Chains A and B, each alone.
Chain A
Amino acid sequence: MITLTHFLVVSACIFCIGLYAVLAKRNAILILVGIELMINAAILNFVAFGRYDKINYGGQVFALFAIVLAAAAVAVGLAIILSVYRHYKTINPDNITDLRD
């Protein structure tokens, strides 16, 4: 029998790996991968708690919504990364220092 704690510990590990990727990476695409890891950890929590809620199925339904939101976020984020690359010729967030048009 796999308890709730197992899921929570695994998702905490995945979340922190994603946090590390967001903080340490020098490449916008890998930062997006880190954000995806964090969203996946949250979805794992949703699903693990949703197991105890048969009446509403809230966990699984909102896990599906979260997957859709993540897909939309990736589509917009990659479009922004591509136009930033076209403008600055780099995707290192440290080199993109001005907000001018």
Chain B
Amino acid sequence: MEKFLFYAFALLAIGSALLVVNLKNTARALFLFFITLFGMAGLFLFALADFVAITQIMVYVGGVLILMIFAFMLSNKALLSDMQNISTHFLSIPNWQSLLLSLGFLTVMIYGVITWQDQMPNWILENIKTGDIIQATDNNINQLGVKFMTQYVLPFEVISIFLLMALIGAAHLSRKEEQR
């Protein structure tokens, strides 16, 4: 059952990602990107990372995608005609150079994973032996909060300053030019 659900989520994520890159209509592709992100959040659950999955849904679906749709609508005057005009070419023709390059990359990575799987790193084997792997019954969020405020407090502060800088920079970049 667990495996079946995993494969279902993986198929959902990969299939909708393939459709996202192959659709001609940008608006449809952006809305389909929601499905990909939900599928990825489902996959995070199978790695017992419930908080990461919820954060993924909140940050991406609530923030990033809304931003993208805003930018798309602001940068495409022909949006309405684009949405109404259902062309006969539903899927765009793949660009063979890019297809070749990414398929080659996929082959290399799958080959690497398959040759690697016999020799797991030592720390994983040790943690399996001592039972230090995350179980489904663990209180993840509690542990994460404690870790964020003790062991990882410096990266946490640095990333909050970074986020503030990035947001101020984005607001500055997208403002209207004042009259000179």
The verdict on A10 contacting B29 (CB below 8 Å), with A24-B99, A40-B37, A44-B43 known, is no
Tell me the dominant secondary structure on chain B's binding face: helix
Instruction: Tell me, yes or no, whether B75 is within 8 Å of chain A by CB.
Output: yes
A33 CB contact (under 8 Å) in B33, B59, B143, B152: B33
Which residues of chain A are near B133, meaning CB under 8 Å?
51-54
Tell me the dominant secondary structure on chain A's binding face: helix
The verdict on A23 contacting B132 (CB below 8 Å), with A51-B48, A76-B166, A83-B173 known, is no
A6 CB contact (under 8 Å) in B6, B94, B151: B6
**Interface size of B as a range:** 35 or more
A12 CB contact (under 8 Å) in B55, B113, B171: B113
Contact check, A4 vs B43: say whether CB atoms are below 8 A apart. no
Contact check, B162 vs A61: say whether CB atoms are below 8 A apart. no
Closest Cβ–Cβ distance, residue B135 to chain A (whole Å): 8
Which residues of chain A are near B40, meaning CB under 8 Å?
14, 40, 43-44
The verdict on A57 contacting B144 (CB below 8 Å), with A14-B40, A37-B17, A67-B55 known, is yes
Which residues of chain B are near A65, meaning CB under 8 Å?
155, 159
